Amino acid sequence: MRKHLIDKLLARAEVDQKVFLLIGDLGYSVVEKFRDKFPERFLNLGVSEQAGIGIAAGLAATHLPVYYSIGNFPSFRCLEQIRNDVAHEQNPVMIVSLGAGFSYGTAGYSHHAIEDAGAVASIFGMRVATPSCIHELDQILEGHWQTPAPVYLRLGSAETCDSCLTQVPASLGHQARGAKSKSDTLSDKLLLVTHGEIGKEARVAISDSGANVTHVSLSEFNSFDTPTLNFISSHQRVITVEEHAAEFGFGARIRSRLANVNFESFEIIGVPMLDFHIGGRREFHLERSELDRVSLSDRLRQANARPLK
Partner 1 sequence: MHSVPELASTARRMVVETSAKTGSPHLSSSLSCVDILASLKFHGASSDIDRREIYLSKGHAALGLYAVLVTAGQIPPSALDDYCEDGSIYEGHVNSKIHGIPLSTGSLGHALPFAVGRAIGESVGSLELIHWVVLSDGELDEGSNWEGLLIASHNRLSKLNIIVDRNGLQSLASTEETSALEPLGAKLEAFGWKVIHSPGHNHAALGEAIASAEKFAGPCAIIAETTKGYGVKDVENNPVLFHYKPATSQHVRDISNSGFEGR
Residues that bind partner 1 (CB under 8 A): 20, 40-41, 43, 45-46, 48, 50-63, 65, 80-81, 84-85, 88-89
Q: What distance in Å separates the CA atoms of residue 149 and residue 126, rounded to the nearest whole number?
A: 8
- Residue at 205: amino acid letter: A
In whole angstroms, the minimum distance from the beta carbon of 128 to partner 1 comes to 22
Burial of 278 from C-beta contacts in 10 A (0-12 / 13-18 / 19+) = exposed
Which is nearer to partner 1, 87 or 254 (by Cβ)?
87
Beta strands in 145-298 (DSSP E): 151-155, 176-180, 190-195, 214-218, 237-245, 265-271
Secondary structure (3-state) at 106: helix
Rg over CA atoms, the chain: 19
Q: What distance in Å separates the CA atoms of residue 124 and residue 232, rounded to the nearest whole number?
A: 24
In whole angstroms, the minimum distance from the beta carbon of 21 to partner 1 comes to 12
In whole angstroms, the minimum distance from the beta carbon of 153 to partner 1 comes to 19
Measure CA of the first residue to CA of the last residue in the chain; give whole Å. 42
Q: What distance in Å separates the CA atoms of residue 290 and residue 52, rounded to the nearest whole number?
A: 36
Which is nearer to partner 1, 51 or 274 (by Cβ)?
51
In whole angstroms, the minimum distance from the beta carbon of 25 to partner 1 comes to 12
In whole angstroms, the minimum distance from the beta carbon of 15 to partner 1 comes to 17
Which is nearer to partner 1, 52 or 270 (by Cβ)?
52
Which is nearer to partner 1, 85 or 242 (by Cβ)?
85
Which is nearer to partner 1, 20 or 152 (by Cβ)?
20
In whole angstroms, the minimum distance from the beta carbon of 24 to partner 1 comes to 10
Secondary structure (3-state) at 258: coil
